[in-house]
């Protein structure tokens, strides 16, 4: 999650939870860890018989519904 700190701020605001300094520091530290994390997972669409065109076609309703 590249915007962990933003999402957490929105969650806390939504729940009416005040952000203390220790909580702010913990969220900032976790956000930095999230942003700097490099996954070693390799994605291979071909392995599953997929390609970008197929996925876009199969998920067209999502793109249309959510204006993506």
Written as tens digits, the pLDDT of the chain (68 aa) is 789 999 999 999 999 999 999 999 999 999 999 999 888 888 889 989 999 999 999 999 998 999 87
Is the separation of the CB atoms in 45 and 51 below 8 Å? yes
Is the separation of the CB atoms in 6 and 12 below 8 Å? no
Helices (H) and strands (E) in the chain, counts: 4, 0
Per-residue pLDDT at 51: 93
Per-residue pLDDT at 42: 82
Domain spans of the chain, in order of start? 4-65
């Amino acid at each position: 999650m590249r915007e962990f700190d933003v999402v957490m701020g929105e969650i806390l605001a939504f729940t009416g939870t005040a952000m203390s300094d220790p909580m702010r520091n913990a969220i900032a530290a976790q956000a930095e860890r999230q942003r700097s994390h490099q996954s070693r997972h390799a994605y291979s669409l071909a392995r599953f018989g997929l390609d970008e065109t197929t996925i876009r076609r199969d998920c067209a309703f999502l793109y249309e519904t959510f204006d993506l």
